Structure 1
Amino acid sequence: MADISDYAWFVRDLKSRLYAGDWNGYLCCWSDEGGLLWTAQAEDRVEGMCGASEAKPPFICATAGSKVNCIDAASGEERWNHQLIGSSDLVTCSDDGNRVLATSSVYEIELNDFIESTCWRFDGDGNLVRQDTFEERPWHLILDQAGAARMGVGRPRCGLIMQTDDEITHLNLAEDDPILCGATASGKTVFGHASGLISLLSKNGKKMKSLFDGSEESVLTLQSDGKMVIAGGDDGMARAVSCKGGETWAVDLGRPLDECTIAFEILGEKSCWVATWNGIQASLWVIGSESGKVHVEFDNLPRIHTLTSRGDRVAVGIDDGRVMLFNEELFSRRITGEGNEPDGPTDGLDSSTGQSRLSLQEKLRSLRK
């Protein structure tokens, strides 16, 4: 567990390091063992992060406030930043760091809606290659190996917007059905729609296939591992859907879903981690991906703002500033009873280590002063 002293707003797990950003633009990097490696300060709330692990040297990019920031992954030193129009939103980059893409949006308070968005395309040195402005707000951004970006967008046109170095094109693939979220894994991209539809983007990026349309509740969060999708919305139903089509299981968690991720195996099947929020407190559920069995529920938590997983670990960013990293081996021991943990809901995530947690919090806060 680590503490960044403010809202943990975005967490990114890359290679052997963990990166996180908070509500006030504070950025941290930790080692595998939880040692704080560096801190940095961005303009405002960190909205998104991506990493170019094969760039020389490797870097991370963060959207914060009205800027996109490029930061050296090893030292935390800023390499470049660029002012955007409106508030910065999504960010992605190629593994080699040759292209960095960010989106920003302008919100009109009187209309209570977004009035325009811009997709910005940079090279690895921060030089602007292209910028395009359009009416729709992107809710998912992907960059393929050929350098083409695709954005799942909402109204008025819905569907996808594709941008390359040379042009921008609208693809009318989801007429009158806004895309609200998306996920990309193992070369497959899935989208969640306002109608409750979960769709799969074709390999050429020009068609959408329906995977599930059995609910009228908007899909507000989803994740995929390329074989299955875990998704949900305000009705409290967590659903597993096969990337070949069809619902595998559905579990009523009784509260709106905030975040989800698919992670390491527990008892022979991958685990689905789902965060819910009832307006007062959050719960974190760990569910079997094939069986739909609830392995454990952690309740009485502050709101969970981000969930991410890679390999043998899961990172959780919480409203009170904690960033928690769960290891597959240790977590599996506790789930199977080897760690002498009680079955059923667990209050507050490992309360038996409360004193050591407070001690670590105090040490990390002192580093920030």
Structure 2
Amino acid sequence: MSGHSLENLASFVRDLDSACSALMIEGKNLFAGSHEGVLRCWDSATGDLRWSVEVAGPISGFAVDNNRVYTTASDSLHAIDMSSGELLWSRELEGGSDYVKASNGFVWATSSVYELEVADFIEATIWRFNENGDELERWIITERPWYFDLHKDGGALLGLGRPRCGYLKIQPGEKPSHHQLQTESPVTSGCRSSEDCFLLGHADGTISSIGSDILSDSDSNSLVTDIASLDLELISGHDDGSIRMNGTQHQILGSIDSVTLLDKDGWASSWNGSDTQITILGDTTNTISHNARIRQMHSSDERLVIGDELGRLFFLEAEIVKRRRSEIGELDDDENKNSEIRARLRMLRNR
């Protein structure tokens, strides 16, 4: 897509000052966390900074419930007032914190223990707290979950790696229930496709579904690095550089880091060891080069935010992206100068 860059397509660009490690668009708020532990909230309509908090990093996930933001970072779980940014409470977990979900006044989190001698995860803990930070329950398993979400029945669902693979369902007050899938391959990624349907990506390239009888076998047979679903659209990215979207496969150089959907177009970021490329799949296929690796993308309500390893956040809106993609012509000298000016303004804004 000659003449276009992420900055050129974005409605606004913001900075975290260190590598972006977590992103979420929630209503009128944009949340982003960095590897160094900086958590910031912006107004998603204007790009104005609402508040900024620092904890021990890296930040790994967000959840929102009852005007609170919950975040997992380093070895802890934190609760933050969504309006003011006040840190309400923190709880230390065992091992490194991974995922966090919250609903109806309850907070679920996972943490895992990595053993250097065996170069693998040897244990994971699933935690359940109330909104005041009181621990209600914990469950210990021998696998690290590579996908975690809440089920509509009030429990949690976890996609597992080795040794058991498959998935777990956990209900409050009960022991975990293990379920096998049609493939015995470890789970490597996942997403929710509807209220009661979950998609899990596997190391053998398979995508399995919980909540329906769908089983999709990928032609690439390569590990699923990321997966996203919106309405009837489905996109998956793979370690060998293949992207599958609605039954069609595309091949690019490098490995796919992240995928998402924006207004029925598929977006995928890839890395070949030295260069980053963003591929946009729609009526036409376009590519954008970028000067830093992109691991984080999140879309919601026709909005998309992309975070790179330099800490920059690019906020895109479907209609604006569509209009700018249709414009013909490369960036001229004035536009390049404008890009430099915008970068200086961001530096001043974050001081």
Q: Answer whether TM exceeds 0.5 for this pair.
A: yes
1:1-369 alignment to 2 at 5 Å?
1-31=13-43, 32-52=45-65, 55=66, 58-94=67-103, 96=104, 98-167=105-174, 168-173=176-181, 176-187=184-195, 188-202=197-211, 209-241=214-246, 247=247, 249-264=248-263, 270-288=264-282, 291=283, 293-294=284-285, 296-337=286-327, 340-342=328-330, 351=336, 353-366=338-351
Larger relative contact order, structure 1 or 2 (CA cutoff 8 Å, min sep 6): 2
| Deviation for aligned residue 1:352 | 5.6
Q: Which secondary structure does the structure 1 equivalent of 2:224 belong to?
A: coil
The letter of the residue matching 1:6 is S
| Deviation for aligned residue 1:341 | 4.4
The answer for unaligned runs of 5 or more in structure 2 is: 1-12
Pair 1:182–1:171, CA change in 2 (3 A):
same
CA distance in 2, matches of 1:133, 1:174: 25
Q: Which secondary structure does the structure 2 equivalent of 1:85 belong to?
A: coil
Q: Which secondary structure does the structure 1 equivalent of 2:350 belong to?
A: helix
TM-score (norm 1): 0.86
| Deviation for aligned residue 1:5 | 0.8
Aligned length: 333
Any conservation in 2 of the 1:197–1:215 contact (CA below 8 Å)?
no
CA distance in 2, matches of 1:251, 1:213: 12
Deviations 1:115-142 (A, max 9, x none): 0000001122211111011111101111
The letter of the residue matching 2:251 is D
Any conservation in 2 of the 1:306–1:318 contact (CA below 8 Å)?
yes
CA distance in 2, matches of 1:34, 1:325: 9
CA distance in 1, matches of 2:86, 2:343: 29
Q: Which secondary structure does the structure 2 equivalent of 1:320 belong to?
A: coil
TM-score (norm 2): 0.90
| Deviation for aligned residue 1:212 | 2.7
Any conservation in 2 of the 1:236–1:252 contact (CA below 8 Å)?
yes
| Deviation for aligned residue 1:8 | 1.2
CA distance in 2, matches of 1:47, 1:210: 29
Deviations 1:295-342 (A, max 9, x none): x321042001200111131100111110110122221111122xx444
| Deviation for aligned residue 1:213 | 4.0
Q: Which secondary structure does the structure 1 equivalent of 2:18 belong to?
A: coil
Question: How high is the sequence identity, in percent, across the aligned residues?
Answer: 30
CA distance in 1, matches of 2:251, 2:220: 13
The answer for unaligned runs of 5 or more in structure 1 is: 242-246, 265-269
Q: Which secondary structure does the structure 2 equivalent of 1:220 belong to?
A: strand
